[in-house]
Structure 1
Amino acid sequence: MIVGDVTLNGIRQVPAEIRDRILEIGDAFDDTLVDDMERLYSPLLGGRGRREVSIKKDISYGSHGQQVLDVHTATKGGDGLTSVLFFHGGGFVRGYKNVAGDLLYGNVATYFARHGMIGVNATYRLAPDHPWPAGADDVGAALGWARDNISDFGGDPDKIIVMGQSAGATHVATYAFRLDIHGAEGPGCAGIILMSGIYHSVDGPMAPNYVAYYGERVADYARKMVQGNMDWAGCPVFISIAEFDPPRFQLSGISLMNELASCHGNIPRIKMLLGHNHISQVMHIDTDDETFGAEAVDFIRTCVER
């Protein structure tokens, strides 16, 4: 795409059919969006990446059946590698590490494995059976497993990036920024990547899935949210939002950036994923579309080379 003398293909890389559907949907977010994006992206995943990567599946990092993870490594191997530990979304009440076979969300871990790292794709306990702060506790438990075991796969335990999308991002942020969650020694990661999470209370009644996780007592919400309770911000942060995210996700990402910068002196890297919505932002990873991946790899490099 050319506008004047400027080539925009490197900025907006969404394939035409998917781009048209995303534009048609706009910032709406419901179950049909998930189904549409899965239908459109599944054929683009599972090609070259799967041939280059080995996956060890369903490793337990805790006693609950949902405390499991997969480790994606390049078939060529390596030592002292950086790892990316990923947590999926699902609105606190649903979701799993693998959807559509293992194409989603295994695509995230496969992408990083193909780029000289180790990808770890984790799932976690869900509300309402496991309310706040279970998700954040599971981030810590999975990270603890990684620090203890990633060297068996060629990884360096001091080079672990923790990444989450949507509810997964909220859990990662809750773990990383709160001393009462991660403890006095710090979170134990080299950096964090947050894709379109919710970090502060929203105006109006809380949606049922939020009530399932945070509880029915409105008076408790303020102390459970990420913002207003951050007392540690000592590692690099990358915040991304999508152009067609529902506005509450965009505003929450910007608000978190502002609090990190103004109150903690930690100015995060921030990126709007042009042409993408709340679901395509994670489903496009490990396709030919590098809207997110290229900058994520650059961010990770700055974290581990500091």
Structure 2
Amino acid sequence: MKKLFRWLALPPLGLLLAAGAVLGTHEWAVAQASRRVADIAYKPTTAPGFDAVSNQLDVYQPKKPAAPRPVVLFIHGGSWSSGSKDDFLYKAIGRRLARQGFVGVVISYRLAPGVLVPAQADDCAAALAWTVQHAAEYGGNPQRIILMGHSAGGGLAALLATGSDTLVSKYGLGPRAAHAVLLDDPAGLDMLDYLTRMEYPNDEQYLVPFSRDPAVWRQASALYHMRAGAPPYSLYIGGNTYPGIMKSAVKFRERLAALGQPPKYVVQPGKKHVPMVLQLLWPGNELYKELHRLAQ
């Protein structure tokens, strides 16, 4: 426990490296409970802008046979400009999803400055369509797909499940292609307001993935696309997360409530932004319990 508290004092990069160093000795045992099918292209190679590295996903299957299992499609964070399914942390999360009894689908997507956030959302929609079409081949239940994302990945997951099918209909999906959504300290739910205000240091960095066009800020903000009929949402927010994330999460909660679909909304006391995803390295935490509840 003392070692864990020392981790929480580290900056994000140091924290991730420390997690890798300590957990590395345990990963072999965790991996034995799952099977990873890596580097599956979720878009046709002929698709406009197709990237042979970024437009890929990995599937993590439990080794023990069972009836079709619920599926968790996990979208990583990284300020829309970094991160990959091949990062240690996201591989570890995939293995742990399988150990929890899910079929885990962990995706990469194109990053800024190569593309803007709407193109990243399109990648995620294509990955969701692939999952709906192919989950059964990997032992998954396409009727029980839970979208999950942390940070920027949370904002992208929210865009896919707003109840408005304009993003996913391109891939032949309806607005409830996902059974449920779990947002883990999501960023970008209301970038129109965030970038209009520019209240915090270094906010200009987000003009790279979102451009300087307010129309793009709105297009890439799930808050402005919410409609009745969205799948059920669960929002988990760090009690010590960034103020912008807390503020937009409250607005998102209020918008869902106004539509008659109040989400489950949990503030985890004392947690900062990075520990909100690092907790997935340990079994028994609240997020896994919530995934099991949503899978019902």
Fold in common (TM above 0.5): yes
Match of 2:222 among 216, 223, 226: 226
| 2:15 is the alignment partner of 1:36 | yes
Q: Which moved more, 1:77-86 or 1:221-230?
A: 221-230
Residues 47, 21 of structure 1: alpha-carbon distance in 2 compared, 3 angstrom cutoff: same
Q: Which moved more, 1:210-219 or 1:152-161?
A: 210-219
Residues 223, 73 of structure 1: alpha-carbon distance in 2 compared, 3 angstrom cutoff: closer
Count of aligned pairs: 276
Q: Which residue of 2 aligns with 1:96?
A: 84
| 2:47 is the alignment partner of 1:68 | no
Within 2, Cα distance between the matches of 1:187 and 1:97?
A: 25
Superposed displacement of residue 98, structure 1: 2.2
Aligned residues with identical type, % of pairs: 24
Within 2, Cα distance between the matches of 1:139 and 1:79?
A: 27
Q: Which residue of 2 aligns with 1:195?
A: 184
Q: Are the counterparts in 2 of residues 19 and 275 from structure 1 also a CA contact under 8 Å?
A: no
Residues 276, 46 of structure 1: alpha-carbon distance in 2 compared, 3 angstrom cutoff: farther
Match of 1:253 among 249, 254, 257: 249
Superposed displacement of residue 210, structure 1: 2.1
| 2:107 is the alignment partner of 1:126 | no
| 2:39 is the alignment partner of 1:58 | yes
In the superposition, the TM-score normalised over structure 1's length comes to: 0.82
Q: Are the counterparts in 2 of residues 239 and 269 from structure 1 also a CA contact under 8 Å?
A: yes
Superposed displacement of residue 214, structure 1: 1.6
Residues 288, 248 of structure 1: alpha-carbon distance in 2 compared, 3 angstrom cutoff: same
Within 1, Cα distance between the matches of 2:132 and 2:22?
A: 34
Q: Are the counterparts in 1 of residues 121 and 156 from structure 2 also a CA contact under 8 Å?
A: yes
| 2:72 is the alignment partner of 1:84 | yes
Q: Which moved more, 1:89-98 or 1:200-209?
A: 200-209
Segments of 5+ residues of structure 1 without an aligned counterpart are: 1-14, 26-31, 302-306
Superposed displacement of residue 21, structure 1: 4.5
Q: Over residues 226-256 of structure 1, what are the superposed CA-to-partner deviations in whole Å (9 max), with x where a residue is unaligned?
A: 2123235421111111122112112222221
Deviating above 4 A after TM superposition, structure 1's stretches of 4 or more consecutive aligned residues are: none
Q: Are the counterparts in 2 of residues 18 and 40 from structure 1 also a CA contact under 8 Å?
A: no
RCO comparison, higher one (Cα < 8 Å, 6+):
1
Aligned AA (2:41): S
Superposed displacement of residue 274, structure 1: 3.2
In the superposition, the TM-score normalised over structure 2's length comes to: 0.85
Superposed displacement of residue 36, structure 1: 2.2
